[in-house]
Amino acid sequence: QVHLVQSGAEVKKPGSSVRVSCTTSGGFSSYAINWVRQAPGQGLEWVGGIHPKFGTPNYAQIFQGRVTITADPSTGTSYMELASLRSDDAAIYYCVRLTGGLYLDYWGPGTLVTVSS
């Protein structure tokens, strides 16, 4: 059984950074962990991901330079850090396991990030 446990909700000021963690049970190094966000009342947006075994992250172009995704195989944890936060970064951030076929099969519960001055 695969479970993804995410860190708690965050409230951040514009211009600051946020780091969200995601701890996976079962086969962490065998699958890539990706991050998808959902702004309030909006659809799903892919942020990026990393395969713990290979270590090279992959980011959506719109987040390039602001997002850093890392993975720590020793703890089975992936981290997503987003810098220079803006009000439109307010969203639920989901960590998701990515299958070899680029499908998102197991989803974490989500972490709400609020950006407010």
User: Could you list the residues that contact another protein (CB under 8 A)?
Assistant: 34, 43-46, 58, 60-61, 94, 99, 101-110
Q: Which is nearer to another protein, 28 or 106 (CB)?
A: 106
Q: Which is nearer to another protein, 102 or 117 (CB)?
A: 102
Q: Which is nearer to another protein, 13 or 101 (CB)?
A: 101
CB of 102 to another protein, least distance (A): 4
CB of 44 to another protein, least distance (A): 4
What are the backbone dihedrals phi and psi of residue 13, each rounded to the nearest 5 degrees, phi first?
Answer: -90, 150
In b/e form, how buried is each residue of 57-96, taking b as 16+ CB within 10 angstroms?
A: bebeeebeebbbbebeeeebbbbbebeebeeebbbbbbbb
Q: Say if CB 59 and CB 67 are below 8 A apart.
A: yes
CB of 85 to another protein, least distance (A): 21
Q: Which is nearer to another protein, 16 or 53 (CB)?
A: 53
CB of 60 to another protein, least distance (A): 5
Q: Say if CB 22 and CB 33 are below 8 A apart.
A: yes
Question: Number of helices and strands (H, E) in the chain?
Answer: 0, 11
